Amino acid sequence: MLLKSIELSGFKSFAKKSLFSFTSRVTGIVGPNGSGKSNVAESFRFVLGEQSIKSLRGKRGEDLIWNGNENAPRANRAGVKVVFDNSKKFLSIDFPEVTIERVVHRDGNNEYFINGSQVRLKDITELLSSANIGSSGHHIISQGEADRILSATVKERKGMIEDALGLKAYQYKKEESIRKLDKTRENIDKVSSLRREIAPHIKFLKKQVEKIEKGEAMRRELSERYEEYLAREFAYIEKEEHEIKTKTKPLDEKLKELDKTIEKLKAVISEEKTETRSSELIEKEALLQAVRKEREALVLEQGRVSGEERSIERLLSDERRRHEQNEHKTVPLREVESALSRLEAESQTDGLTVSLLWSKVKEIVGGLIHTYREEVDDARAKEFEGELKELRKKTEEIKQKLEELNQKETDARRAYEQVRQSIEAEKDEKRDSEKEIFKLLAERQEVTSALHDLHMRLETWRRADADFKQEITEGHVLIGTSILDYKNNVDTYKNANEERSIQEERRKQIERIKIRLEDMGAGGGADILNEYKQANERDEFLAGELIDLEKSVESLTSLIKDLETELEVKFKTGLEKINSQFNEFFSLMFGGGTAGLKVVKEAKRKRKLFDLEGEDSEESSGDEEETQEYDEGVDVDVSLPRKRIKGLMMLSGGERALTSIALLFAISQVNPPPFIILDETDAALDEANSKKYGDMIETLASKSQLILITHNRETMSRAGSIYGVTMGKDGVSKLLSISFDEASEVAK
C-alpha cells in the first residue's frame, strides 16, 4: 500500500487526534449524515496543498480549526499528516517512508513539513506532481463533483483529461518553450536595434581610423628621426657636462687657495692687526701692574693683622696675671645687700648681746669673703683667645694668597715679554707680504676669467639640457614610450665631433613633422583606435549573438513542434484507451449502449475593427467584421440501449451520474494514480446500479488504492476495512474500525 495512513488533529470536527490506517486495497469510511466523514476527503485536499478555502467549505483559515464546545476547548491550530510507503521510490525523494504534514494557525498562517523538516508549498507540489498526485483532480472526487466532468465546456474537459493523462508536464514545457521563444524573438529585435544604432558611429570611427593610419606613417618617420637626434644630443650633453665639471673643479679649488693665502697676507699687513697686538701688549702690562698692586695691598694687610695679633696676645697675658691677684677680685652688689639684710634681721632679735651680734657679723662677712676668694672671672680672657684665633687664621689665608699672587705676577711678566717680542717680529714680515699680495692678485684674475668662461659654457649646457628634456616630453605625446629608444644608440655617438649647426638642422626637420601631425589632430589616435576596436568587437559580438539567437529560435521552434507532436500522439493514444475503458464501464453500468469521447472544435466569435484607411485599430470608429476562432476540446458521445437518446443533454440525473462515474473510472484506469478518494459518488445509485458500481470498484482497486466514503451497503461490502465515523452531542467526530481482511485471516 503506497498510502499508509492519515492523521487529523484539530481539523474541523476531529477535535482529538484521529488516525486512519490504510492496510487494505479498498477502505470504506461510513457514518450518518453530519458525522464529519466528508471532512476526511477534505483533509486529503488540505494536506496535499489545496489553497482554496472555499473548496474546503470554509471562508477563512481558522474555519478549518476545531472551534470548541463545553467539554473540549477550541484548538489554536489544525494539522493533517499523511504517510506514504516510498520503498518503491514512487516519490522522487531518498526516504523509504515519506511524511507530509500541513498545519494552519488561527492567524491564517500555514506551515508545511516533509519528514519533520519545514519546507515550502512549492516543494510539496513538485514532490507530489512527479507521482501524479495533487490537491484536487481526478483522484479526489467529492460529493456533487462527479458531474463536473460532464457539465464542463469542451475545452475544460480536454484540460481535465490531459491532466489525468499526465500531459501537464509536456504542456508546461511547451508553454515555457513558447515564453522562451517570445523572449528570444524580443532579444533578436533588441540586438538588431542595437546594431542599427551603432552602425553610424562605427562608420564615423572608420573614417577617423583612416586619418590616424595616415598619421602613423609620419609618426614612424618622426620616431626614426628622433632616435638619431636624441641619441646625438644626449651624447653631446653628457660629454659637455663632464668637460665643464672636470675643468671647473681644479679652478674652484685654486681660487679658494689663492683667496685663503691673500687673506693671510692681508692680515699680516693690516693696521688693525698691529693695533690688536699693541692692545694685547697694553692688556698684558695692565694685568702685570694689577697683580703687583694687589700683592702690595696684601703685604700691608699682612702687617696690620700681625700687629693686631701681637696686641691681643699682650692683652690676654695681662688679663691672666690680673686674675691671679685677690685685690682685683670683686663681689656683686646683690650679694653685699643680701648680707646686710641678714645682719639687720639678726640685730633685731630679742636678747642678743653685743658680743653675740659681733660674732654673727664676722660669720656673715667671713662667709662672703671665703666664697669670692676662690672665684675667677675669665670671660674677658676667653674673648681675647677667640679674637686671637681668628687673627691667626686670617694670617694663614693671607700667606697662602700672597704665594698665589707671586706666581701670577711671574706668569704675567712672561706673557708680557712674549707679546712684546712678537710685535717686533711682525714689523719685519709686513714689507715681504705686500710684494706677495700683488703677485697673487694677478694670478687670481686669470683664474676668475677662466671660471667665467666655464660658467657661460655651463649656461649654454643648461639650456641645451632643458630643450632636450622638453623635446622628450613633446615627443612622448606624439609617439609614446618609443621616444626612449634613443638610449640604445647613445654609445654610437659618444666620440662624434660635428658642428652644432648640423644638429640644429635635424631639430628643424623634426619640428616640421610635429607641426604637420598636430595639424592633422592625430595626437589622440590611441583612444579612437581603441574605441573603433571596441565598437567593432561589440558589433561582431552582437552579430554572433544574433546568430545564436536565431539558432535558439530554430531550436525552440523545433522543440515546440516536437512537444506538440508528442502531446498530440499521447493525447490521441490516451483518448483511445479512455474510450475503450469508458465504453466498457458504460456498457456494464447500462447493460449495453455505447459511449466515447471525441475531439471537437468549438467556434467562438471575435469582432475585428477596420479604420477608414483599412488598418486594424481597436479604437477605430469604422466598420466592424466578425471573425471566427476555434477552441479545441473534447465532447462526450453516448447512446443508451433501447432508447433513442444521444448526447448528454437528454440524460436524466441518474443516467448522468452513471455516465460520469463510468468516465471517471475509465480515466483512472488509463493513468492510475497511487490512490483515489471517492466521497459519496454512489449516493444517487439504486440497488441494481450499486452492484455494478461495486464491480467497477473492484476493477479499479486492482490498479489504485481506494478510500470510499459511502452510505451504500453494496459499496461497503467491497471494502477490506471500514472506519465508522460517529458524532455525539459534543460535536466531536469519533472513529470505529472494522478490518474484514484481518477477520478473514483469523477465521482461516
How confident is the prediction for the chain on average, in pLDDT? 81
User: What is d(CA 331, CA 254) in angstroms, rounded to the nearest whole number?
Assistant: 103
**pLDDT higher than 60, residue 735:** yes
User: What is d(CA 123, CA 113) in angstroms, rounded to the nearest whole number?
Assistant: 10
**pLDDT higher than 70, residue 625:** no
Q: 696 or 629: which carries more pLDDT confidence?
A: 696
Amino acid code (one letter) for 289: Q
CB atoms within 10 A of CB 330: 8
Task: Express as a percent the part of the chain with pLDDT over 70.
Answer: 85
pLDDT, tens digit, 9 for 90 and up, residues 566-595:
888 988 998 898 899 889 888 888 888 888
Question: How much is the average pLDDT of 613-630?
Answer: 51
User: What is d(CA 183, CA 177) in angstroms, rounded to the nearest whole number?
Assistant: 10
User: What is d(CA 364, CA 351) in angstroms, rounded to the nearest whole number?
Assistant: 20
- The DSSP line for 608-671 is EEB-TTS-B-TT--S-EEEEEEEEEEEEEEEE-TTS--BSGGG--HHHHHHHHHHHHHHHHHHS
Size of the chain, expressed as the number of residues it contains: 748
3-state secondary structure of 133: coil
**pLDDT higher than 60, residue 746:** no
Question: Which one of 282-296, 427-441, 685-699 scores highest in mean pLDDT?
Answer: 685-699
**pLDDT higher than 50, residue 622:** no
pLDDT, tens digit, 9 for 90 and up, residues 312-366:
777 777 666 666 655 556 667 777 778 788 777 777 765 667 777 777 777 787 7
Predicted pLDDT at 723: 94
pLDDT, tens digit, 9 for 90 and up, residues 385-439:
888 788 888 888 888 888 888 888 788 778 877 777 776 666 666 667 767 777 8
Predicted pLDDT at 606: 56
**Among 84-88, 126-130, 343-347, the least confident range:** 343-347
Predicted pLDDT at 145: 66
State the cell numbers at 218.
609620419
State the cell numbers at 66.
476545531
**pLDDT higher than 60, residue 274:** no
User: What does each C-alpha distance from 346 to 333, 359, 367 come to in angstroms?
Assistant: 20, 11, 16
User: What does each C-alpha distance from 382 to 306, 314, 316, 317, 328 come to in angstroms?
Assistant: 20, 14, 9, 12, 18
User: What does each C-alpha distance from 118 to 62, 134, 553 come to in angstroms?
Assistant: 21, 19, 41
| Cross-strand pairs, 678 | 141, 708
User: What does each C-alpha distance from 238 to 235, 455, 487, 505 come to in angstroms?
Assistant: 5, 16, 12, 20
Per-residue pLDDT band at 610 (split at 50, 70, 90):
very low
Domains within the chain, CATH numbers bracketed: 1-139+676-748 (3.40.50.300), 271-441 (1.10.287)
